[in-house]
Amino acid sequence: MSEQEDDIILSELDDNELVQQMYDDLYDGLKEEIEEAVEILLERGWAPYRILTEALVGGMTVVGNDFRDGILFVPEVLLAANAMKGGMFILKPLLAETGAPRVGKMVIGTVKGDIHDIGKNLVSMMMEGAGFEVVDLGINNAVETYLEALEAEKPDILGMSALLTTTMPYMKVVIDTMVEKQIRDDYIVLVGGAPLNEEFGKAIGADAYCRDAAVAVETAKEWVARKHNQMAAG
Amino acid sequence: MALDDDALTDHGLTAKGAGRILLLACGALARELIDLRDANGWDHMDLHCLPAILHNTPDRIPDAVRAAVEKHRAGYETILVVYADCGTGGMLQKACAELGVEMIEGPHCYSFFEGNAAFAAREEFTAFYLTDFLVRQFDAFVTKPLGLDHHPELREMYFAHYETLVYQAQTDDPELTKKAQICADRLGLRFERRFTGYGDLDPVLRAL
C-alpha cells in the first residue's frame, strides 16, 4: 500500500481526486502531503475558505466520526489534527485577506489548576475550521483571565475545558462570577473535558456540555443561530 | 501467590469466594492490598480486581463496578470499592451511593497513596504520577495507548505542560526506581521519587 501511495503525484490528480486523497492523507496524519495539496488547490484558484471547508474540515469530520465510533484512537486523531494544522497554517492569513464568512467568536481556555489542552486545541481548530474566530487563552486560567478576555474580545461564546475531577468544579466558579457580575446571559457558555457529562454541565449553569470537538462545533453553530434569532426578534 | 501484572492490567483478579468482606479493587492495587491483608492476617477479606487498564477509560469504571457489585454482593457481608474517583467525574461516587457500598476517598490512587490531605496541600498540577504498578506497566498504560511507540513526536503534544514525573514508591525497589527514571527520561520530564508506602489504604482497611 505504501508503495502505491509513494507513486501518487498529487499535482496530477484532478480536483475531486485530490480532495479525496486529502481525506486519506488527513486520516493517515500526513502533514507534508496536506500542505502540498493545499498549495496545489490554491494554485488552481480555489478560495482558501473552500479548501478549508471542503477538504480539511471534510476530512477531519471523517476522523472525528471514526474516533466517536471507536475506530480511531487519540494518537491517530492527534496526527490527523497535526496534519490539518499544517494546512490551516497556510490558509489562515489568506482567510483573513479574502474575507471568509465569520460565524461567530469564541474565547476558550482550560481552567485554573489544569494543564491539559489536547481536547481544547482540537475544539479550537475545528471551530476555526467552521468559520469561528477563536481566542485561545491556553491552560491554567483563573476566573479573572476569563473575565478580562470576555471584556476585551466580546465573543459570542465562552468555552471552558478541564480534564481533572479536581479542576472541573472551577467552571462553576467562573459561571457564578459571571452571574454575580450580571454578564452570564451575555454569552453562550460551553463546557467540555473527559470527566464531565451533561448532568454536570447543567448543574453548574453552562448552556451545554460538548462531548467532543464535532459536537462542540454543532452546538456552537446552533446556539449562535438561536442567539441571533433572539436578537432579531427582540 | 504469584501475580502477573499483564493479567492484572487486562483481566484483573478473580475473588476466591472466602471471607466476609470483599475488596472490589482496581487491578493496579492488587499487590498492595494482598500485602496489607497478608501482613495483618486479615483473612476475613477477599479480593476481586477489575482490569487495571480501565484507568485509561474512566467512563467505563462505574458500570464495571456496578456489575461486579451486583454479581458478588450475595456472597459477602460488606463490599468496599477500592477505587478513588479515578477520573469518573463523580459518577463512581454516584454509582456506589446507589448500590449502598463505600468507596475510597480522593481523586486518584496517587492522592490516597500520598494521603489525601497531603496530596491536596501540594496543589501540584504539572506532575505526572507513576506508582509501582504503573512503572512496571508503563508501556501498557502510557507508551502504547498514547501511540508513543510508533509516533514519539506526539510526546510534545501530550506532555508539553508537564514538568516532573513523580514516582510514588510503594516499596523500596532500586530496580523500579531505575525504571521510573527511564520513564521520566523518555517523557522528557524531571524525575522525583517519593516514598509513600500504602498511604491511606492501611487505615481504611484497618477500619473495616
Could you tell me if A92 and A156 lie in one domain? no
Contact present, B95 and B65 (Cβ < 8 Å): yes
**CA angle, B151 as apex, B149 and B157 as ends, to 5°?**
115
Nearest residue in B to A140, CA atom: B125
pLDDT, one tens digit per residue, over A187-226 is: 999 999 999 999 999 999 999 999 999 999 999 999 999 9
Q: How would you write the pLDDT of chain B (208 residues) with one tens digit per residue?
A: 579 999 999 999 999 998 999 999 999 999 999 999 999 999 999 999 999 999 999 999 999 999 999 999 999 999 999 999 999 999 999 999 999 999 999 999 999 999 999 999 999 999 999 999 999 999 999 999 999 999 999 999 999 999 999 999 999 999 999 999 999 999 999 999 999 999 999 999 999 9
Q: Do B145 and A74 touch (CB under 8 A)?
A: yes
Name the phi and psi angles at B166, rounded to 5. -100, 115
Could you tell me if A126 and A193 lie in one domain? yes
Q: Do A74 and B123 touch (CB under 8 A)?
A: no
Q: Do B147 and A197 touch (CB under 8 A)?
A: no
Could you tell me if A150 and A91 lie in one domain? no
* Mean of pLDDT values over A62-89: 93
Of A97, A124, A139, which marks where a domain is finished?
A97
**Residue entry with cell 500504602:** B198
Question: In chain A, how many H helices and how many E strands?
Answer: 11, 5
Could you tell me if A84 and A196 lie in one domain? no
A195 touches chain B (CB under 8 A): yes
Name the phi and psi angles at B149, rounded to 5. -70, -40
A203 touches chain B (CB under 8 A): no
B154 touches chain A (CB under 8 A): yes
Smallest Cβ–Cβ distance between A165 and the set B90, B145, B157 belongs to B90
Q: Do B88 and A165 touch (CB under 8 A)?
A: yes
- What is the pLDDT at residue A1? 43
Dihedral sign computed on CA atoms, order B171, B173, B174, B177: negative
Could you tell me if A109 and A87 lie in one domain? no
Q: Do B154 and A195 touch (CB under 8 A)?
A: no
CA B74 to chain centroid: 26
Domain count along chain A:
2
Q: Which residues pair with A105 in a beta bridge?
A: A133
Could you tell me if A123 and A213 lie in one domain? yes
Q: Do A167 and B125 touch (CB under 8 A)?
A: yes
Which chain B residues are within 8 Å of A165, Cβ to Cβ?
Answer: 85, 87-90, 107
Domains parsed from chain B with CATH numbers: 5-110+198-206 (3.40.50), 115-195 (no CATH)
Contact present, B54 and B26 (Cβ < 8 Å): yes
Contact present, A82 and B147 (Cβ < 8 Å): no
Q: Which of A170, A177, A194, A195 is nearest to A112 (CA)?
A: A170
Confidence of residue A4 (pLDDT cuts 50, 70, 90): low
Amino acid sitting at position B65: V
Amino acid sitting at position A94: L
d(CA A191, CA A206): 7
Instruction: Supply B203's cell numbers.
Output: 487505615
d(CA B82, CA B33): 9
A169 touches chain B (CB under 8 A): no
Could you tell me if A116 and A207 lie in one domain? yes
- What is the pLDDT at residue A6? 62
The CATH number covering residue A166 comes to 3.40.50.280
- What is the pLDDT at residue A7? 79
Q: Which residue range is the domain that position A144 belongs to?
A: 104-233
Smallest Cβ–Cβ distance between B126 and the set A115, A164, A200 belongs to A115
Instruction: Supply B201's cell numbers.
Output: 489504604
Could you tell me if A115 and A84 lie in one domain? no
B156 touches chain A (CB under 8 A): no
Could you tell me if A115 and A188 lie in one domain? yes
Q: Do B151 and A115 touch (CB under 8 A)?
A: no
Q: Do A195 and B58 touch (CB under 8 A)?
A: yes
User: Which position has the higher pLDDT, B182 or A229?
Assistant: B182
d(CA B85, CA B107): 5
Of A71, A97, A123, which marks where a domain is finished?
A97
Q: Do B89 and A114 touch (CB under 8 A)?
A: no
d(CA A21, CA A212): 25
- For testing contact with chain B, the best of A28, A76, A115, A164 (most B CBs within 10 A): A115
Could you tell me if A81 and A124 lie in one domain? no
User: Which position has the higher pLDDT, A24 or A130?
Assistant: A24
pLDDT, one tens digit per residue, over A129-155 is: 888 999 999 999 999 999 999 999 999
Could you tell me if A72 and A18 lie in one domain? yes
Could you tell me if A30 and A75 lie in one domain? yes
Instruction: Supply A189's cell numbers.
Output: 457558555
- What is the pLDDT at residue A228? 80
The secondary structure element, H or E, covering residue B79 is strand B78-82
Confidence of residue A108 (pLDDT cuts 50, 70, 90): very high
- What is the pLDDT at residue A5? 54
Instruction: Supply A144's cell numbers.
Output: 479573572
Confidence of residue A234 (pLDDT cuts 50, 70, 90): low
Q: Which of A224, A146, A157 is nearest to A181 (CA)?
A: A146
Of A34, A64, A97, which marks where a domain is finished?
A97
* Mean of pLDDT values over A79-86: 95
Name the phi and psi angles at B122, rounded to 5. -70, -30
**pTM score, two decimals?**
0.90
The CATH number covering residue A81 comes to 1.10.1240.10
